[in-house]
């Protein structure tokens, strides 16, 4: 499998970078199931570095991280110094969580502003009196049209 060999030959290589663009869960799962144990932590750290460097790739790279943790959880749980090795990803997650409440507040404010904007631009429902006046105006214009056509 070309994808697995690219990963095991070194994720920093050009092909290794291309591999991380694969998004199909089946492809990611099969690739990671063939990953040598010695490459698990280095791959986690490499993905973490890529996330730090370019957060916009988060959706793409978290597919890999999630599947990596699922596929190799027994190894990761049995490794005695895994907490120390994974400090960079802990820090990355903590940094993202610090910003989350601020983003939720901002989203709430934006939603409120958008709703007010929608309310301002939506037509105001006419009262019964206004509807009657409008109907009378239409009737008068119809009569005017009849008179003009004669």
The predicted structure's pLDDT at residue 108: 93
Residue 25 has, within 13 A of its CA and on its CB side, a CA count of 4
H-assigned helices in 2-127: 2-8, 14-19, 25-33, 40-53, 58-71, 73-78, 82-85, 87-121
**22 pLDDT more than 80:** yes
* Structure tokens belonging to residue 150: 């004669």
Predicted pLDDT at 119: 83
pLDDT (mean) for 25-52: 89
CA angle in degrees (0–180, nearest 5) for 84-89-93: 130
- Model confidence at 17, pLDDT cuts 50, 70, 90, reads confident
pLDDT tens track for 92-137: 888 888 888 998 999 999 999 999 888 887 665 555 555 565 566 6
Torsion of CA 10, 13, 16, 20, to 10 degrees: 120
Alpha-carbon gap, residue 10 to 93, rounded angstroms: 25
Q: Which two tokens stand for residue 134?
A: 């409008």
The tokens for 9 are 């030959």
């Amino acid at each position: 499998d070309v994808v697995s060999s690219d990963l095991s030959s070194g994720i920093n290589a050009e092909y290794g970078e291309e591999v991380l663009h694969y998004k199909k869960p089946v492809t990611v799962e099969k690739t990671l199931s063939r990953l040598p144990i010695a490459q698990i932590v280095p791959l986690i750290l490499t993905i973490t570095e890529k996330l730090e460097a370019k957060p916009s790739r988060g959706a793409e790279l978290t597919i890999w991280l999630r599947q990596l943790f699922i596929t190799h959880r027994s190894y990761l749980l049995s490794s005695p110094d895994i907490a120390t090795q994974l400090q960079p990803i802990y820090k990355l997650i903590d940094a993202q969580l610090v910003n989350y409440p601020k983003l939720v507040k901002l989203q709430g404010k934006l939603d409120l502003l958008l709703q007010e904007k929608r309310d301002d631009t939506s037509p105001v429902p006419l009262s019964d009196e206004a509807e009657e006046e409008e109907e009378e105006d239409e009737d008068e214009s119809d009569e005017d049209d009849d008179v003009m056509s004669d």
